[in-house]
């Protein structure tokens, strides 16, 4: 089993996400999270997917577009480090990415299909890693990461944003 990341496997900032994952089996959790997230999100009608709870906030579509982009980013970083590359990776500006992605112009069902596909690809990648790869380290955005920390970060990031959706976007749509 892949253990939880130690505090030196990512910058402390990222543990605000990592620590939200209470499961011990990260691969099982990522698979369960995919099913549960899609069950929740499929309850949101297309018209509601453009809802913003305040001016300047992302729409629900924008949040899911952000999750898709960020999971791809974390998986790329994990691939880079797992395969032994040691060149530091640059930062990721989520606002630049969000604007360029134009999630609000896409059908809601396409964003959900993308979420499913991205998560499935992440799971396939992580399941295929040799044991030694989980411990490999690298630098991204000026911060240290292990491959293991990136997998846990992926799950915790989704937990965080689903919590935001439940609290601010979906209170009158779903339970």
The class level of CATH for 24-169 reads mainly alpha
Enter the pTM of the model. 0.96
- Per-residue pLDDT averaged across 72-91, rounded? 98
> In three state form, how does the secondary structure of the chain look?
CCCCCCCCCECHHHHHHHCCCCCCCHHHHHHHHHHHHHHHHCCCCHHHHHCCCCCCCCCHHHHHHHHHHHHHHHHHHHHHHHCCCCCCECCCCHHHHHHHHCHHHCCHHHHHHHHHHHHHHHHHHHHCCCHHHHHCEEEECCEEEEHHHHHHHHHHHHHHHHHHHHHHHCCCCCC
Task: Report d(CA 115, CA 38) in Å as an integer.
Answer: 8
Q: pLDDT tens digit string along 18-42?
A: 999 999 999 999 999 999 999 999 9
Q: pLDDT tens digit string along 117-144?
A: 999 999 999 999 999 999 999 999 999 9
Residues above pLDDT 90, as percent of the chain: 96
Nearest to 149 by CA among 32, 11, 1, 42: 11
174 pLDDT exceeds 70? no
Domain ranges of the chain: 24-169
């Amino acid at each position: 089993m892949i253990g939880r990341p130690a505090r030196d496997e990512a910058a402390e900032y990222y543990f605000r996400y990592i620590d939200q994952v209470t499961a011990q089996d990260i691969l099982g959790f990522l698979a369960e999270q995919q099913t549960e997230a899609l069950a929740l999100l499929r309850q949101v009608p297309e018209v509601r997917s453009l809802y913003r709870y305040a001016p300047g906030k992302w729409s629900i579509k924008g949040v899911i577009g952000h999750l898709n982009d960020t999971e791809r980013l974390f998986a790329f970083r994990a691939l880079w480090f797992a395969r032994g590359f040691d060149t530091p990776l640059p930062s990721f500006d989520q606002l630049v990415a969000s604007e360029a992605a134009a999630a609000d112009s896409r059908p809601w069902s396409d964003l959900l299909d993308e979420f499913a596909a991205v998560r499935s690809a992440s799971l396939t990648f992580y399941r295929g890693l040799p044991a030694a790869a989980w411990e490999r380290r690298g630098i991204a955005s000026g911060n240290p990461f292990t491959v293991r920390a990136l997998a846990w970060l992926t799950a915790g990031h989704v937990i965080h944003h689903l919590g935001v959706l439940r609290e601010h976007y979906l209170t009158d749509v779903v339970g």
